[in-house]
Amino acid sequence: MSKNKYISQEFQETFERYLMDNMNKEETDGFINKLEADADLKKAFQDFKQMFLAVEEEALREELNTFHKDIPKLDITHKKTNKTRFYLIAASITIFVFIGGSLFFNKQTPADKLFATYFSPDPGLPTVMGNSNNYKFYEAMVDYKQANYKTAIEKWEPLLLEKPKNDTLNYFLGSAYLAEANFDKAITFLNVTTQNSKSVLLQDAYYYLGLSYLKQNNIKKAKENFEKSSNELSKEILLQITHLER
């Protein structure tokens, strides 16, 4: 049987009867024995079986699409509502808290507003892995940059045992606590950084200290720290504070 020549009609019909389960037990056994004894026949059968499967599969796929049309569409509004509802609730709570905070309870002070305008967490240091000494520090930096401040804090705090006065470590612990709105802790750590007058982070540490005190409505301490910081934002915020005081 030549490789490329198609099988005879007789063979085709025998193969069909086998594949379509139309043979009795005796005939099936005889057919299988023949296949096992004749490699060419077996190959011809396998080729035919693939054609048979291809025709079937193509038809099945068409039919699956027909079945699919009968599937009740997932109530898109319902589905969306599930997600949207979550956001709506979240948004309403946020709005309520804001409105509640500023109007109803009238608790948002001008200092809070200033803080909200100026505060954004320090973006963190580039995390270049490889320096094994600092591995743990930078591992936590990855968390910090992903705004997983609690995890970063958990990883950084044990490092203080070795380097309690390290300006960078204290600075980022302060920043992380500030981002977590834990102002007392933020002040404690940032104050350690400002004790190192040579720290490259000194100006920023004063700035964030200023913001922490501002948020605590300690305007005097806030001003002191902004005044010590040479960064542009500190100067800007100082002007604003002066307006506040008028």
Partner 1 sequence: MGDNIGYNQDQIIKGFKQNDSSILRTIYSNTYPKVRSHILKNNGDEDQAKDVFQEAFVVCWRNIKDSKFSNTGSVEGYLYTIAKNKWTDYLRSATYKKTVVKSKLTNLQIVADNDLADEDVAQENIEVLKQALSKLGEQCKTLLKQFYYERKSMNEISETLNITPASARNQKYRCMEKLKALSLDLKKHE
If the CB atoms of residues 60 and 239 are measured against partner 1, the closer one turns out to be 60
The helix/strand/coil state of 141 is helix
186: tokens are: 């933020």
What is d(CA 191, CA 182) in angstroms, rounded to the nearest whole number? Answer: 14
* Token pair belonging to 120: 């954004």
Q: Is 148 left (phi over 0), alpha (psi -120 to 50) or beta?
A: beta
Q: Is 97 in the site for partner 1 (CB under 8 A)?
A: no
Which residue number, 61 or 220, has a Cβ lying nearer to partner 1? 61
29 binds partner 1 (CB under 8 A): no
For residues 174 and 172, give the distance between their C-alpha atoms in angstroms, rounded to a whole number: 5
What does the block give as tokens for 192? 């350690």
Residues 117-156 that bind partner 1 (CB under 8 A): none
The piece of 54-62, 136-144, 210-218, 238-246 that touches partner 1 (CB under 8 A) is 54-62
Closer by beta carbon to partner 1, 4 or else 106: 4
Among the listed residues 33, 50, 92, 230, the single contact to partner 1 using CB under 8 A: 50
Closer CB to partner 1, 16 or 38, in the complex = 16
Residue 24 touching partner 1 (CB under 8 A): no
Written as six digits, the tokens of 165 are: 């006065």
CB of 28 to partner 1, least distance (A): 13
Give 45 or 149: the residue with its C-beta nearer to partner 1: 45
Contacts of 22 (CB under 8 A, 6+ apart): 16
Nearer to partner 1, 60 or 97 (CB): 60
Q: How far is CA 93 from CA 80, 88, 98, 181, in A?
A: 19, 8, 8, 19
Reading the block at residue 100, the tokens are 């509640």
Q: Is 61 in the site for partner 1 (CB under 8 A)?
A: yes
Q: Return the residues of window 65-94 that contact partner 1 according to CB under 8 A.
A: 65, 67-68, 70-71, 74, 79
């009238």: which residue's tokens?
A: 106
218 in contact with partner 1 (CB under 8 A): no
* Min CB(178)–partner 1 separation in Å: 31
- Sign of the C-alpha dihedral computed for residues 229, 234, 239 and 244 taken in this order: negative
Q: Interface residues with partner 1 (CB under 8 A)?
A: 4, 6, 9, 12, 16, 20-21, 47-48, 50-61, 63-65, 67-68, 70-71, 74, 79
